[in-house]
Amino acid sequence: MAEQDSRMADMTQATKDGSHPGIATGSAWRPSAAITGAEIALIGADAVRPAIPGLDLWDSWPLAHEDGRTASIEGRQYWFFLSAPCFPDPGARHDAARIRLASLGPDGWRDHGNALPDGFNPGSREWAGSAVLHDDGVGVTLFFTAAGRRDLPQSFEQRLFAASGRLGQDGPGGWAQPVELVRPDGRRYLLAAEAAGLPGMIKAFRDPAWFRDPATGSCHILFTASAGWDDDPYNGVVGLATRGADGVWHLADPLIEAVGVNNELERPHIIVRDGHYYLFWSTQRRTFAPGEVSGPNGLYAMVADRLDGPYRPVNGTGLVAGNPATEPTQGYSWWVTGEGEVWSFIDHWGMQGRSFEQDPALLRSQFGGTPAPTFRLAFAGDHVTIA
């Protein structure tokens, strides 16, 4: 108990100014030096092939086993994508996002349609999450973000939901009515319910990602959130919820906070290797606080020896791999599978220094909206590199 109390005191002090008694705010991400590191390979025109013609696809996650391994069903992997029609301005896709189900096998991609039926989502848009195939080999849970509210004016409210289903002949489906998992408490986690906002600056309570702790067998959800204890415009945190013995999910303390550093630690998820807990997230240069140390659009991580930390930045700064300096927006939304393979989507590629102000047509012509080439990671203690 004394050790636990000591860890609580350490985490409470891991804030910008140490003035938040009683709140365990998680390990602080405070890069003190320029964030540089490995660059992802340039994306060329040969990689920009639509997986599902007529749709833009972006955030993706696989159907995975409870222990994090990617599920393979008769030689096919099932992947969930955020999807939308190919609008002239791809930025509009977020306001029409639906979760799309596709499978990947020897014959390539196969489209299985919208993952959820029309009118199923309690929100007005479906945003990112995760999906788990339970150990019985049949039961499936889809975790997702309900953005806004159905039949109400559009907003950036975000709520975490789970829908239970079954693995059938055509993949996961047969969903029961979605159940809300947890709600922000306003103390550790800010209520994300803005009516309007700028890209990269809205507050967060989204991206539920399943994790079963191999050390305890307990089930958790990580999520993107905003600090409830600090009104700094750049107050991103990685949140945690834990499923109790009664099957009910309960809010837990944040794992990582970046108050004063970065507004969005997006799509957090954990991979365990050799007893180390690698907590990954994606972020963009534009979401770093002005005047602070900043880094590229890229995949970042911290590592700990147990789920509750303390966490240390991998590679010294937290950067695992970033977009190349010559094409800083070519990819985004990185997801590390249980096998250490990194998935993402092609964002605005091949810009060659051009800007949308100079040529607005580039918004559409250079947006990939399709899965990016994958790459693998090598893990070695506090270091994670491109294999």
- Which tops the pLDDT comparison, 198 or 30? 30
Confidence of residue 13 (pLDDT cuts 50, 70, 90): very low
Whole-Å CA distances, 276 to 132, 182, 253, 314, 321: 22, 27, 20, 11, 19
Mean pLDDT across 212-216:
98
Q: Is the pLDDT of residue 3 over 60?
A: no
The angle formed by the CA atoms of residues 211, 217 and 219, to the nearest 5 degrees, is 35
C-alpha–C-alpha distance, residues 130 and 143, integer Å: 5
- Which tops the pLDDT comparison, 198 or 82? 82
Q: Is the pLDDT of residue 266 over 90?
A: yes
pLDDT > 90 fraction of the chain, expressed in percent and rounded: 90
C-alpha–C-alpha distance, residues 64 and 211, integer Å: 10
Q: What are the residues whose beta carbons fall under 8 Å from the beta carbon of 341, sequence distance 6 or more?
A: 70, 374, 375, 376, 377
Please report the DSSP string for 135-160 in residue order.
TTSSEEEEEEEEES-TTS-----EEE
C-alpha–C-alpha distance, residues 237 and 210, integer Å: 17
Least confident of 25-39, 68-82, 93-107: 25-39
Coil, helix or strand for 179?
A: strand
Confidence of residue 23 (pLDDT cuts 50, 70, 90): confident
Whole-Å CA distances, 68 to 63, 162, 172, 242, 362: 9, 17, 17, 17, 38
Structure tokens at 297: 């659009």
Confidence of residue 128 (pLDDT cuts 50, 70, 90): very high
- In this structure, CATH architecture of domain 35-386: 5 Propeller (2.115)
pLDDT in tens, 157-213: 999 999 999 999 999 999 999 999 999 999 999 999 898 888 889 999 999 999 999
Mean pLDDT across 66-81:
98
Please give the sequence-ordered ranges of beta strands (E in DSSP) within 76-188, or none if there are none: 77-85, 98-105, 108-114, 125-133, 139-147, 158-168, 171-173, 179-180
Structure tokens at 20: 């938040």
Confidence of residue 292 (pLDDT cuts 50, 70, 90): confident
47 φ/ψ angles, rounded to the nearest 5 degrees:
-90, -15
C-alpha–C-alpha distance, residues 155 and 226, integer Å: 17
pLDDT > 70 fraction of the chain, expressed in percent and rounded: 94
Confidence of residue 136 (pLDDT cuts 50, 70, 90): very high
Confidence of residue 18 (pLDDT cuts 50, 70, 90): very low
Confidence of residue 12 (pLDDT cuts 50, 70, 90): very low
Whole-Å CA distances, 19 to 7, 12, 133, 229: 17, 9, 42, 10
